[in-house]
Amino acid sequence: MNKKLSVSDGFIRRNSVLSGLMVISPIIVCGNTIMNALALIYAFSAITFTSVAVGAFVPKKLPYGVRIIIYTCLGALSYIPVKAAAEEFFPGVIDRTGIYFMLIAVNSLITVQSETKFYRFTKGKMIISLIRHILGFDAVMLVISAIRELIAYGTFCGRVVDADIVISGLGLPFGGFIILGIACGIYRCIAPNSKDTDDFGGDSDVYNF
């Protein structure tokens, strides 16, 4: 299941969410308004970039298990200043998103994919690949949240839109599952190299199932 790695992966080609099925929980549960999406995008981008960039300096001689623990600790440490800033710029988002804001600090891009993807590149290519993966998540989160907010609440960015009918159920987690599933299907139809997509999530190549 090990596929050839490319720096261009993560955004359109082999999108981290739609193809790799990574970090889908915040999208499904909290990705129902644009304000939530912006806060989660900020948290995800800041924490993931910091953790993976700093984690690149962790010595590779350490056992795999210890390295994973260190990467996760880096994510947990990055979370503290990110949370403080979120409370300043996105008031109320921590209450709205609950545990999912914290869970972003232990997302699989930090804990698992850093070893299997990013640290196999040189530092420069690693940064590019990391940014692409982060942007991949950000784009999906924003688009899905915008669609869900429009359909489920009849608002856009908190402002009421003249929507004739609202499907409130799509703002709930099951709506997230269904819309994300349909989005993945549409992505497979239209994205380039969609035949290279992982069937069971981007983490599967780690475990060689």
Residue with tokens 């050839």: 4
Shortest spacing between CB 25 and another protein, in angstroms? 5
The answer to the question of residue 182 lying near another protein (CB under 8 A) is yes
Shortest spacing between CB 35 and another protein, in angstroms? 20
The answer to the question of residue 158 lying near another protein (CB under 8 A) is no
98: left (phi over 0), alpha (psi -120 to 50) or beta: left
Shortest spacing between CB 135 and another protein, in angstroms? 20
Q: Which two tokens stand for residue 116?
A: 């299997």
**Phi/psi at 155 (5° precision):** -125, 165
The answer to the question of residue 162 lying near another protein (CB under 8 A) is no
- Convert residues 1-30 into a mask of x (bound to another protein by CB under 8 A) and - (unbound): --------------------xx-xx--xx-
Contacts of 88 (CB under 8 A, 6+ apart): none
Nearer to another protein, 78 or 129 (CB): 78
Q: Which residues bind another protein (CB under 8 A)?
A: 21-22, 24-25, 28-29, 64-66, 68-69, 72-73, 75-77, 79-80, 83-84, 98-99, 102-103, 105-108, 111-112, 164-165, 167-170, 172-178, 180-182, 184-186, 188-189, 199-204, 206-209
